[in-house]
Amino acid sequence: MESLLSLSTGDFRAVELTLRLTMALVVMSSLMLALCVTCTASRQRFPLILASVALLGAAWFESGVWTAWKEGFELAGTSYCVTGQPLAGEDRIIAWSLAVPALLFCFELVRTPWGNGQSPAIARFGAGALLLGLLAPLSHLLALVLLGLGLWRLCFHSPAASKDHPLPIDRESRLAAGSILFAFLITLLGGWHLLPLGKSAGGILVRGEIIRSLCEILSLVVPSLLLLKGVLNPSTAQGDPLK
């Protein structure tokens, strides 16, 4: 366990930089969604606002991960030694539970018209997204099942476009679904110790933190940017963008 008790300065700062970058990207994505509300159609503003608020909440918990990492180690000579403070792994789970279900629901809101009898389907999808957010911290397997159902709808269920509703953003939805699913599977493999992270405890810790941060970018930042791209797509917007 000697390698777990200390990290080189380079390893510590690499993880810290990755955590800071992840938090900054989530905050920037949230602000971009909020700012673009001013140049989108009124019916598309609620999904952007909801996604922005969810990402802002996720960024708060991401900041807890960064703070816990800094408090978990202290500089001792040329290396960083553990202080005994636990790392905030639960903050990552809460951040995912806040943002990912909300992003999925926002994609569904943009894709599906509220009229023509579609409102019950949207309400059921919203209830499933809420259940996903509640169960994700409790069971990864249940979360995987619910996530798979939601992603299947986004990928393979394309509501017909109507005169008063923009064309479905199927391409962006499928790319977002693939990004979220890939990150979730990588996280599961890491939790089951199936990723080749090395043999030393310090190396496993450092590489694991970096991979988890990259998975958070794939789960939170990439889908939010795809949502924004789909909403701002000229083929999606119709008429005056301020109406």
pTM for the model = 0.89
Residue 40 clears pLDDT 90, i.e. is over it? no
Residue 53 clears pLDDT 60, i.e. is over it? yes
Cβ–Cβ contacts within 10 Å for residue 202, how many?
A: 20
- Residue ranges of the domains in the chain? 2-232
Give the pLDDT of residue 22. 97
2-232 CATH fold: Rhopdopsin 7-helix transmembrane proteins (1.20.1070)
How far apart CA 45 and CA 154 sit, in angstroms, is 20
> Closest Cα to residue 213, out of 4, 25, 2, 7?
25
Lowest-pLDDT choice from 32-46, 88-102, 107-121, 208-222? 107-121
Q: Please give the average per-residue pLDDT across 177-200, as a whole number.
A: 91
Q: Are 24 and 217 in contact (CB under 8 A)?
A: no
Q: Are 183 and 219 in contact (CB under 8 A)?
A: yes
Higher pLDDT, 223 or 159: 223
Q: What is the mean pLDDT of the chain?
A: 86
Selection from 38-52, 168-182, 216-230 with the highest mean pLDDT = 216-230
Lowest-pLDDT choice from 35-49, 56-70, 156-170? 156-170
Give the pLDDT of residue 167. 54
Residue 62, CA distances (Å) to 16, 30, 90, 205 in order: 12, 13, 10, 18
How far apart CA 144 and CA 135 sit, in angstroms, is 10
Per-residue pLDDT tens for 114-132?
655 567 788 889 999 999 9
Residue 211 clears pLDDT 80, i.e. is over it? yes
Give the pLDDT of residue 239. 42
Cβ–Cβ contacts within 10 Å for residue 148, how many?
A: 13
Longest dimension (CA), the chain: 68
Q: Are 147 and 184 in contact (CB under 8 A)?
A: yes
Banded pLDDT at 201 (limits 50, 70, 90): confident
How far apart CA 143 and CA 217 sit, in angstroms, is 19
The share of the chain scoring above pLDDT 70, in percent, equals 87
As a residue count, the chain comes to: 243
Helix, strand or coil for residue 8? strand
Per-residue pLDDT tens for 55-93?
999 999 999 999 999 999 998 888 899 888 888 789 999
Residue 162 clears pLDDT 50, i.e. is over it? no
